[in-house]
Amino acid sequence: MDLNEVPYSIDGILKLDAGTIATKFYNTQHKQTLINNIASYNQVNPDNITLTLGADGALELVFKSFKQNFFYLPAPSYKGFQKIAEIHNICRRFYSPSNIVEILKTATTEDIIFICRPDNPTGVIADNIEQFILKTKAKVLIDESYIECCHKKSLTSLLAMNSNLFIVRTFSKSYAIPGLRLGYIITSQDKIHELNKRSLDYPVSNLAIYCAIEILKNKSTFDIFLAELKKKCLFLQNELKKIGFTVPTSETYFFCIDLNSCTNANNLLKFLKNKNIFVADFNEYGLIRVSTSTKENNTIFLSAMKEFQKLAKVDSYEYKNK
């Protein structure tokens, strides 16, 4: 429950035909077919898209292509931002997502601002920032890895009004193929040209391309899966609230628990780990992130959380790591 992997899979949905998937040749035809289908799905021009090795590959490509710029990274946020920045020795500064409007207002042409939409780890979407994205002098990268989970739309419509906007998407999350590593960037044609100069000619596999083409054909099925997953997520949140945890509202299938609402919070991660339950650790920000899983795993998690709350209320209780 720590990596934001969805509990459903493409098994039974996609019919993988070894004869259809070209493994002997570089399949440029299917690559262009996928780009065209992604363009149609996002209502943009195919020339505004480049494929990448997952969303991480997209983020790294932007870091490499504009490493002379100063990067603003949200915190808390996706830890991959920090790791890729460290690898490429990027000049960076962290900002609180609640201060995004002020950052957009004051940034210069030498800056690149990263925005998670929805935010990771909280699952929250910042409202009414579109006008500031259009007016800012900086380049803006919007990570929309989880946008399919949300009732709010992608910001691809802003691309026609801001040539310095980059939107990162992935098939790893809502479309359940993280192991195939397929993402993409949507941006202006001149920026695509800059990115492609620093990208490999064949950054993704034919298998990933084939699966993505089939996924887009079956998008309505995945929409049903996501709707059911969000219902389970809401149930989990409500059950946790009943036993005393503070759980901020999330737009996605993952959510945070505010550790300030938890007695003996420092021991919660140890307690869960000893039960082989793994959640994402944002303890330095007073949070843990939980991804909704299967019905069985969700039940096990809730039972453990209830047990922890009961133990934590006992004055003499002191959890010891076994």
CATH superfamily of 220-312: Aspartate Aminotransferase, domain 1 (3.90.1150.10)
Query: Which residues lie below 8 Å from residue 268, measured CB to CB, with a gap of 6+?
Result: 259, 262, 288, 308
Main-chain dihedrals φ then ψ at residue 129, nearest 5 degrees = -105, -5
Nearest to 267 by CA among 225, 309, 238: 309
Reading the chain (322 residues) residue by residue, the pLDDT tens digits are 888 888 887 777 777 665 566 666 666 778 999 999 999 999 999 999 999 999 999 999 999 899 888 999 999 998 888 888 888 888 999 999 999 999 999 999 999 999 999 999 999 998 889 999 999 999 999 999 999 988 888 999 999 999 999 999 999 998 888 888 999 999 999 999 999 999 888 889 888 998 899 899 999 998 999 999 999 999 999 999 999 999 998 999 999 999 887 766 778 888 999 999 999 999 889 999 999 999 999 999 999 999 998 887 764 345 444 4
Q: Provide CB contacts within 8 A for 12, sequence distance 6+.
A: none
CB distance 218 to 84 below 8 Å:
no
Taking the domains of the chain in order of start, what are their residue ranges?
A: 28-217, 220-312
| Rounded Cα gap, residues 165 and 162, in angstroms | 6
Asked if residues 190 and 162 have their Cβ atoms less than 8 Å apart, the reply is no
User: Which tokens in the block code for residue 282?
Assistant: 């944002």
Which architecture, in CATH terms, is 28-217?
3-Layer(aba) Sandwich (3.40)
Entry pTM = 0.90
